[in-house]
Structure 1
Amino acid sequence: MVKIMSYEDNFFDLYKTFQYQTVIYGAGVCAKRALLYLNMVTFICDRKANEINEINGISVVTPAMLETIKEKFFIVLCIKSSQIRKEIKNELKKLSIDALIFDYFDNIAFDIYIEKELINHEKRKLYYICLICEDEGWILRKFALKMKEQLDKQGYKCSIQNVADPLADINHHVIYASCNPVISYNETFMITHIDSFNKLEFIKHQVKKVLMAICMSRETMEKLASYGVPREKLCYINPAQDGVIEPKKYILGIMHRTYNDHRKNEDILIDICKALDADYFVFKIMGSGWDHIVNVLRTMGFEVEYYNEFNYDTYTELIPSLDYYLFWGFDEGSMGYLDALRAGVETIVTPQGFHLDLKDGITYACRTIADFKKVLLMLQDKRKKIVQSVENWTWKNYVDKHLEVWNYLLGIEDDIYKNQHMYEDGIFSVLRLNV
């Protein structure tokens, strides 16, 4: 009779009690390593026994030869492949021997590390995604609606429901609180933030039953891992923005009239603006004589709020609304410069006249057209960099990253590296079990 022993059946405890003949099955590296700890081995069993004969002075026999030895056996399977061990167990059951079969890689006595495997790694095609969202409010419902919109565009079947759908390829909970499965229907959930012990313990409990918990940031993912949530069950995908809000434009103020002798050098404004992006600047101009220049600027795409006559009340409202006060003349100074400073407005002006007599008055000192271009381009690039920081945080990319993770969980890894070095979240934040 052949009996397959379980993980809890401690080999050493049973050997002390019965001391049956001990056989190692396998003649490879794993078996040789096991011999260091199993000094009671009588035989080594292997299908290729005729080619090996003996190892460390111990005879190697074929499985069939065990039938000729009228003894009770402890047989320890020392072969790394779980699939091959399974096949050998089935073969041994067919032999006419009296033996207890122990799995060297799955017995409490040996405490060998076993690689984990994805339970749902089954090469299942991803088509139907069910989004679970109980919230009817703004933020979470928005996540669900935006995800569905993108999934629909890409040809996936997607529904938003209050509970998981057993027929779905993936059930994704928009918030972890709605995920409380008895058994998992290929479920994942999003984690917003964990700010209490009970929430942490809830996550630890629920993550055992789902395929993956998806955080919104690297920080939260790493924090949860440090708190004991299994790292292989965590990843993060940064949230998305709608891409509909236009960049805030710098409001540049010019508060003086033009003169026939061009003492204010007003014509250089067109030259300066040729170097700028109209998406990042708007002008507020008060003073007569700017009509032609204003028309040219508008033709160039710049927004211009123009007042061709001075009005004190309007002026006192305009000054505090500015981001920067501009003045490039060299005629002692601009009175508007004083009002801008009084309003706390930063200045881009020439370092001359009474401009120099005010401590901390000049934010950016410019003497030439090149100086003004340099300062304004620096401001433009500064804001553009801020805008571009979320350029790729779109709902399409957000959903695409989920699809990569979901496909991995279902065993579809053909294109897993196609976006490597493009971003660090999504599939590239998954601690993959096998690489």
Structure 2
Amino acid sequence: MNIQDIRSYFPILDQEVNGKKLVYLDSAATSQKPVQVIEALDRYYREYNSNVHRGVHTLGTKATDGYEGAREKVRKFINAKSMQEVIFTRGTTTALNIVAESYGNANLNQGDEIVISYMEHHANIIPWQQVAKKTGATLKYVPLTDDGSITLENVEKTVTSNTKIVSIMMVSNVLGAINPVKDIAEIAHRNGAVMVVDAAQAAPHMKIDVQDLNCDFLALSGHKMCGPTGIGALYGKRELLEKMEPVETGGEMIDFVGLYESSWKELPWKFEAGTPIIAGAIGLGAAIDFLEEIGLENIEAHEHKLAEYAMERMSEIEGLTIYGPKKRAGLVTFNISDVHPHDVATVLDADGIAVRAGHHCAQPLMKWLEVSATARASFYLYNTSEEIDKLVEGLIKTKEYFSDAWI
């Protein structure tokens, strides 16, 4: 399938913004949705909208089949052993909070260590800060190399026999760094710790095999991988999830409720209180079907080419700084000297080019980079080299505009 065929599935791309053809370069924040996903959501609401697990009527059965069928698609997508190891959540943030609140609070004590890195998204920092405050555990950070990479040597120096949890993002949403989480998991396990992987920026772009990674938990978000917003998944090894207490309680997750005691359903439903995100799960299932039809290997290769081309072209612009290692996923984070990233994004938007500007929910990393904010162009399966050329033209225009403004 060629790039134009792929783009034809995304109706939002066929529009003008501010009188210019839309160039969408903000997929790391949220991806666009193909017609297959839009139609799956529409079909659910039009044809079999109903609650799941609770009724025996036809619509309820069809909705339950769609919801649990989507769980099986997620299981296959990440190669989990069992559907019981896949919990639907609102996204990566919720999934990481479940691990922190349920596993962290039950297994951490004074003197224990939680190890994360300076490049983590706030969703993989704040839950651990909160757990550390409650339990007396110590939060430690793996240092980064000059180009923003995590080395196994630095992991070895940071993880100790007191470490109980290591939580690292698989791909940085700012630096584009692809972290060696499989090797980090081996170091964590050797020291008696569990390994948590934030795969929000990895799952949309590369094949994930949780059994090969041997991670204990993994979190992902549907909206970054062509699925709807408000849906994601937490993978956890069954033996760990079975020992964990639910974070939310109420309907749907219970087995028996008495006046003073209650018991929980088996996995995965004990972690899914209330009416679940039925349409979102069905939409995520459709997104997985779409991505697998394209091929994750093809998507990854396409994005690597775009990232290489973007770095080559953008390096030609004097005064432009690119952050992160040379080998990276499909995004480029940058600054133009003497121009605030918000101004860069505003000028580009006037030409129909959408990029992200700000701290990217990674303020500790911004401090490490010694900047307050950056601009970011992120690529996905529907982007082209011609769009990168338009980005470069827009950046040159931005630089010239602000240079003239200072004269």
Q: TM-score normalised by the shorter chain: which range applies?
A: under 0.3
Give TM-score, length-normalised by structure 2.
0.22
Give TM-score, length-normalised by structure 1.
0.21
Q: Which has the higher contact order (CA 8 A, sep 6+)?
A: 2
Larger radius of gyration: 1
